[in-house]
Amino acid sequence: MKKIRFRYLIMCITVCIITLLQCTMTTNAGGLERGRILFISAYSYGWDTVQIQIEGIKAGVGPNVVVDYEFMDTKRVNDETSAQMFYEGLAYRMSQVEPYDVVILGDDAALLFAMEHQDDLFAGIPLVFEGVNDIELAKEASKNPMITGVVEQLSVEKNIEFGLKLNPKAKKVVAILDDTITGEAERKNFYSYAEQFPDLIFSEINTSKLSSVDLKVELGLVKEDSILIYVVMTEDASGKQYSNSESVEMIAKYAGVPAMRMVEGGVGQGLLGGNVVSMHKSGELAAGMATEIINGTPCSEIEVILESPNIYCVDEQVMKKYGMDIDLIPADAKVINHEPTFSEKYHELFRPLGMLFITLLVIILIVCVDNYKRRKLMVELEEARGIMESASQHDFLTGLPNRSKFMEDLEATISAEAPFTIMMMDIDNFKTINDTFGHTAGDDALKQLAARLKEINTQIFTSYRFAGDEFIVILKSTSGKIVEKAAHQCRQMFDKPFVLDGEKRKVGGSIGIASYPQDATTIEQLIGCADEAMYEVKKNGKNSFAYYHKNV
């Protein structure tokens, strides 16, 4: 009888705790209006600081807010054609979805883009910027009652001071820079502190003027009497483009001294860190502003935050690797790769409430075990369904979407009644490749061509394996310049030799181009037009591209 009463008491306590938590969550969620936010980043999702910004935005909005994302990708391509393509794509997508309540703009290029197109794309929509390091641009933009946001400012001064604290014998400070627009701006900012630190020699490693090999050598030549600061590195002298993760990997591997950083990205992956701009905090602050606007506060009443959200962020493992005193890390710093002490690990176990928490947690876990098993089963079933669905729509050999997926997408694109272009291509003399080098070499040629197509895939350019050695592309544009550029990109894929049977060999390809609705208005007709144009190339010497003409 006593056991039954005790179990009943425990169950009552558990129900009360769960009910209290649910009420709290409901109360917190109830104060937030439903809303839609669009985040436009100047860079791509692959840029790790962008991922941190997005995490901050997610942390700053409530569960009732929908956040969509667009990426300008200016780090890889920054020209008029790319900007126009992004504009046209964004304009179309915005015309097809529900209006946004707020647009958050990540970094300077996104703010400039929004200001340029405020009247036609963002009329009546409040704009909130973050990650903008051009203070004058931010001040000018904030004069508009529909624009507010958070600035970003790299602190060269605080990082040099922190570097001197870690290495009092330092005689030099070396910055890693390139010749991009960002690099030029940060170069000017870096050298402006030379007078403030007259005992230090200021110099740089300019990655835009060094080959990959020379860059590794220069990094290795940095001595222990130097403070090394990684500012920006997106290219080298050969024209190779570096993602932030690639730059971090090279610097961490080849630098002779620990490399400091002025933004969060890369800290925890081999860089020392320092006084960094918190991209997470920037995103969170911008999301908070957007939430205020959604909840009814006019944009004009939300002041621009001119104090950059900087924090100290340090990798403890890097400190230990170079024999630095851990006690020199600022007390308020965010410490990455921290190895907890015994007291930190077990401090909570010594508190009486900790035992009560563990007891209640065990009870809740026991009560919820059946629900957990059901959820796990549902997840496994969903994963299996996703795998089967993906397999049914992708080509096993190349990994590209297959013919079935192409026909599905083509039908949807035609139903949308938006002009578009298809490009059909195949490998010249493919039968000869199979007959001469074997079917394995033929498969290798198909896989290599597919890999090259994947590299040029964009939001408006999607490639598929159609059949045999035939591939096909849907280009969501009929603009002459865009189609011509895409055709040249496809043609140039065949300039690089293919590796067949262990040796590099020249392989050609023929490409036929047809547009909807100029050339045809049905699926069958459009494919036939592209196929006819491709075979016209075959008849005229192969290894080129041609547009469909009705008199062909």
pLDDT at 16: 54
**357 alpha carbon, distance to own chain's centre:** 39
Q: Give the pLDDT confidence of 237-280 residue by residue, as tens digits.
A: 998 888 888 999 999 999 989 999 988 777 888 999 999 988 89
**Measured distance CA(112)–CA(132) in Å, rounded:** 10
pLDDT along the chain (552 residues), means of 10: 54 57 46 80 87 92 91 88 94 94 94 94 95 87 94 90 94 94 85 95 96 94 94 91 89 93 84 90 94 94 90 92 91 87 64 72 80 75 70 89 94 92 94 92 94 94 94 94 94 94 92 94 93 93 90 50
208 and 237 in contact (C-beta within 8 Å)?
yes
* Residue extents of the structural domains in the chain: 1-30, 33-154+281-309, 160-261, 340-389, 403-547
For the entire predicted model, the pTM comes to 0.51
pLDDT at 27: 43
Identical fold, 160-261 and 403-547: no
CATH topology of domain 33-154+281-309: Rossmann fold (3.40.50)
**Measured distance CA(78)–CA(43) in Å, rounded:** 10
Nearest to 266 by CA among 75, 55, 48, 43: 48
Q: Residue 268: which residues within 8 A CB-CB, separation 6 or more?
A: 315, 336, 337
pLDDT at 244: 83
**Measured distance CA(535)–CA(14) in Å, rounded:** 73
Nearest to 455 by CA among 396, 419, 395, 496: 496
**Measured distance CA(197)–CA(201) in Å, rounded:** 8
**How many Cα atoms sit within 13 Å of 336 on the Cβ side?**
19
pLDDT at 287: 94
**Measured distance CA(417)–CA(413) in Å, rounded:** 7
Question: In a 3-state reduction of DSSP, which class is residue 375?
Answer: helix
Torsion over CA: 60, 64, 65, 69 (sign): positive
Q: Is 50 exposed, middle or buried (0-12, 13-18, 19+ CB in 10 A)?
A: buried
450 and 470 in contact (C-beta within 8 Å)?
no
Q: Does domain 160-261 have CATH number 3.40.50?
A: yes
pLDDT at 342: 65
Q: Does domain 403-547 have CATH number 3.30.70.270?
A: yes
pLDDT at 440: 92
248 and 271 in contact (C-beta within 8 Å)?
yes
**Measured distance CA(257)–CA(270) in Å, rounded:** 11
